[in-house]
A = this chain, B = another copy of it.
Amino acid sequence: MTPPKPAIVLVEPQLGDNIGMVARAMANFGLSDLRLVTPRDGWPNERARATASKADHVIDAARVYDDLASAIADLNFVLATTARQRDGHKEVLGPVEACQRIGTLGEGGSRSGILFGRERWGLENEEIGQADAIVTFPVDPAFASLNIAQAVLLMAYELSRGRSAQTNFSAPEREPAQKQVLNAMFDWLEPALDQRGYFRTEQKKPKMMENLRAVLTRPGFSADEIAVLRGVFTALDRFRPRKTQSEGDDR
A170 lies within 8 A of chain B by Cβ: yes
Interface: A89 (CB within 8 A): yes
- For the complex formed, measure the closest distance between the CB of A36 and the CB atoms of chain B, giving whole angstroms: 20
Question: A164 on the interface (CB 8 Å rule)?
Answer: yes
A75 within 8 A of B: no
Complex Cα spacing A204 to B96, Å: 45
Please provide the chain A residues from 32 to 62 with a CB less than 8 Å away from any CB of chain B in the complex: 53-55
Interface contact B236-A28, CB-CB below 8 Å: no
CB pair B153 A235 closer than 8 Å: no
Decide: A140 and B231 in contact? CB cutoff 8 A: no
CB distance from A234 to the nearest CB of B (A): 9
Known A153-B154, A161-B96, A235-B198: A53·B242 in contact at CB below 8 Å: no
Question: Would you call A121 an interface residue if the criterion is a C-beta within 8 Å of the partner chain's C-beta atoms?
Answer: no
Q: Specify which of B153, B154, B164, B221 is in contact with A215 (CB 8 Å cutoff).
A: B221
A177 at interface (Cβ–Cβ under 8 A)?
Answer: no
Interface residues of A in 150-167 (CB under 8 A from B): 150, 153-154, 157, 160-161, 164, 167
Which of A8-16, A109-117, A141-149 touches B? A141-149
Query: Quick check: is A203 within 8 A (CB to CB) of the other chain?
Result: no
* Residues of A196-251 contacting chain B, CB below 8 A: 196-198, 211-212, 215, 218-219, 221, 224-225, 228-229, 231-233, 235-245, 248-249, 251
